Structure 1
């Protein structure tokens, strides 16, 4: 970003390399409506590109309102990103129960057999704290994400099951994650969205 009210570089704070299982935290003044003050969980990162899901923006619907044939389940649907925005994606902690789950890190998986997922929910073997649903995903070509990191558009941060599947209000998550990272990051959490008001 061109305007940086702090006397340090976001690039210098990016001590972690980008890899699957990490978070991309949007810099405070990003104006892209898809990613403004967003947190993206990286599901895949390789030579073909990067795939992630925005974890702090909901669509205002429950999963049963998106899919009429889904069993009763108290789970919000998140706006994962602008790519394939009509398609449903999910991350979860039940890779041992859902066939074809893809391990991201630790106990965090994404995708899997959707029909089996619905059966497990009907049996009460999966709770809303085990899973997150998303419409669409966020995707970058290899050179694209490298360029955005060089432009200081993103902070790279570790993720955890507690953060991904916790009960923090999605609207508060961007600031909460920054504040947990220490004083320098906490200052960023308090910046106005429009730098002209700073």
Structure 2
């Protein structure tokens, strides 16, 4: 599996083993604030219409809400403008790094709702770890750029070998496979904790900003449970709809529209 950048692409280089760790899931605190604000608004609207106050609901295990700008660990949710664009139609991209102003350090991530319905062994890998330790792991389409990556559900473990994206979820690339195999053999993690991706998605900073401003992507923060909770290919395929429904409002309405009506 290749770990180089695609020729002529505008995307950033694949990740190094440099660490950008997340020590606290402050995202949940922010989500609670957002949910509280939405509940207050709904209560105000309901009270003005019916005179009856509405009770606010506690934040569940699965949540998603819009955010104004991309950040590491957020998701990019394809809008209706990408319907008909085969590569990104109704995709959810997990942003592994939000990027910098440096040309070779733009934002990049992987599509997390496009299972290929194949295991690694079907690809006849030449890498020893892929051919043995991870042979039965499922493969997913990660994006159009030429590199392979993996996500690892690390739970509360702090694994210095990989880069944490959100609490409980780390990522690595082809140059981290030996470390990944060693951790499996040591019993620290299991093969089923990994999700492997063929390709990735990358942008220059201004390029992604322009695509968001042109309404090609919704930017959202999601719970770890929502991102990592898909235990089957079918559940990951429905992630686009589920995130939009969790975001509520007009996002939820979009999730129910058939493609031909857009």
Aligned positions of 1:3-22 closer than 5 A: 14-22=66-74
Structure 2 partner of 1:92: 152
User: Could you tell me how far apart the structure 1 residues matched to 2:108 and 2:69 are?
Assistant: 15
When normalised by structure 1's length, the TM-score is 0.80
Consecutive unaligned residues in structure 1, runs of 5 or more: 1-12
Say if 2:225 is the partner of 1:162.
yes
| Residues 1:75 and 2:137 are matched in the alignment | yes
Q: How far apart are residue 123 of structure 1 and its match? A: 5.0
1:125 and 1:174, CA in 2 relative to 1: closer, same or farther beyond 3 A?
Answer: same
1:143 and 1:118 map into 2 onto residues whose CA distance is 37
More strand by share: 1
Name the SS of the counterpart of 2:132 in structure 1: coil
CA distance in 1, matches of 2:246, 2:191: 25
Structure showing greater Rg: 2
Cα displacement (A) at 1:89 = 0.4
Which residue does 2:111 correspond to in 1? 54
**Structure 2 partner of 1:35:** 88
**CA deviation after TM superposition for structure 1 residue 164, in Å:** 2.5
Structure 2 CA distance for aligned equivalents of residues 164 and 65 of structure 1: 26
Contact 2:184 2:191 in 1 (8 A): no
- Other-structure match for 1:136: 199
Following superposition, the deviation at residue 29 of structure 1 comes to 3.9
How many correspondences in the alignment?
182
Alignment gaps of 5+ in structure 2 = 1-64
- Compute the RMSD of aligned alpha carbons: 2.4
- Partner residue, 1:3: none
